[in-house]
A and B are shown apart, each in its own frame.
Chain A
Amino acid sequence: MVRLITHNMLTCHVKNCTKDNYPLVFQDAAVEIRPAEPNLGFIERFLPKLEWSALVSTAKALGDDSLPEVMPEDEEELRSEEFLTKLHHVLMEIHVEEGAMVCRGCGHVYQISSGIPNMLLAEHEVGR
């Protein structure tokens, strides 16, 4: 049940892992599309928080290339219903059910099983 909205917010939290720790790369991802009630106002307010390039590259890796490479600069296009609906689909309806997320910096593998990523760290990986 990892949605891309959450994945876009997730970095690696292993001790001393500060370089290339975002975004986590999906591996052997099993994707499931689950329709969700759109709330376009929420998506619109969420826009400034998104890291666009990470979102697009991740969506592409999961086989969805409906989003443009660069975030539209035109305000009207950005706030248009069509664009926000597309964004809603990518952020809220794509769920990764199985697989793993790998940190490019330290190589830590976060296993995902039945939609729940295992974020537990070994004792020596916990930051202070």
Chain B
Amino acid sequence: MSRPEEIAPPEIFYGDVEAKKYTGNTRVQSIQAEMTDRAIELLALPPDEAQFILDIGCGSGLSGEILDEDGHYWVGCDVAPSMLEVALQREVEGDLFLQDIGQGFGFRPGTFDAAISISVVQWLLNADSAAHSPPQRLNRFFTTLHSCLRNPSRAVFQFYPSSDDQVHMLTTAAQRAGFGGGVVVDYPNSAKKRKMYLCLMVGQSEIPKGLGENGMEVEGDAGDDKVKNEKRRRTERARGKKSMKGVVDKDWIMKKKELYRNRGKEGVPRDSKFTARKRKPKF
């Protein structure tokens, strides 16, 4: 699958041609609408009350239109002038800004009741010029966003990470800025339908659950953290050998890894179900 963020910076990639293509494509439209609806659902806004919402990376206003339909007032910002031009032609209701979200926002504290962003934040993870540093830009973005949101409120970002490391980078940057919450994965077992939402909260802490097959709700994160039957295997082995000296357990390893991460050591392996897993005896 091609990734637009690897081809060119957003303001160049979404030039006149691409902006028109993007907005005119009915498939893109329907996917965008679906994701916006889901993001609005995750925002858990009070029913029948118009809200003041920030649309981060509004593009041609596809998601803004849905906010309009629900009667909300919104402000959109995007870095691609061509996309904003299309938005102007489509006569969307919200105020538009030409803004690079990695440079931070200048809104007064507590301005917005919510923030929404569809397929945007993965662009922040790329360094498009020598002066760009993704961690720094993420930090600036999240701290200024945190301050311009009301307490309590939510911000939902739909995004396409290219690796687990990117998810980790985003969540830690958001946590550092003071947000609570985490990643919600819809349809985690379907390659096509799988969608990730970064659901951040100001002043509240319960993460909503992702959608599974048949619209069922499943646990927020990617399943069980343990290897199957590991406990049984371990007890059986322990029965066979009475004393196992020098064995390090999972807690100890996790503690050490946490410590190294806090110290900023590089190359600490990421946590998975294989962390501290017992291996087969070898001769």
> Taking beta carbons and an 8 Å cutoff, which residues of A are in contact with B?
1-3, 5-6, 9-13, 22, 39, 41-42, 45-46, 49, 51, 114-121, 123, 126-128
Contact = CB atoms under 8 A, between A and B. Distances in A.
A127 B95 contact: no
A13 B103 contact: yes
Given A116-B96, A120-B98, A123-B131, A10 B88 contact: no
Contact of B106 (A1, A13, A46, A114): A13
Nearest to A113: B98
Interface stretch (B24-32, B70-78, B187-195, B206-214): B70-78
Given A42-B49, A42-B52, 18 more contacts: A2-B95, A9-B108, A9-B148, A11-B106, A11-B108, A13-B104, A45-B49, A49-B108, A49-B111, A116-B81, A116-B96, A117-B97, A118-B98, A119-B97, A119-B103, A121-B103, A123-B129, A127-B104
A120 B106 contact: no
B50 A116 contact: no
Contacts of A13: 103-106, 144
A126 B133 CA distance: 12
Contacts of A123: 129, 131
Contact of A42 (B73, B95, B140): B73
Interface of B: 49-50, 52, 71, 73, 75, 77, 79, 81, 84, 88, 94-100, 103-108, 110-111, 129, 131, 136, 140, 144, 148
A56 to B, nearest CB: 17
B185 to A, nearest CB: 32
9 contacts: A1-B88, A11-B107, A39-B50, A41-B50, A119-B99, A119-B103, A120-B100, A126-B104, A128-B136
Given A22-B108, A114-B88, A128-B136, A119 B98 contact: yes
Nearest to A8: B108
Contacts of B148: 9
Contacts of B52: 5, 42, 46
Contact of A115 (B96, B100, B105, B129): B96
A73 to B, nearest CB: 22
Contacts of B100: 119-121
Contact of B71 (A3, A39, A121): A39
Nearest to A6: B95
A119 B77 contact: yes
Find the residue from B94, B103, B129 having the highest chain A CB count within 10 A.
Answer: B103
Given A11-B107, A120-B98, A121-B103, A127 B49 contact: no
A37 to B, nearest CB: 9
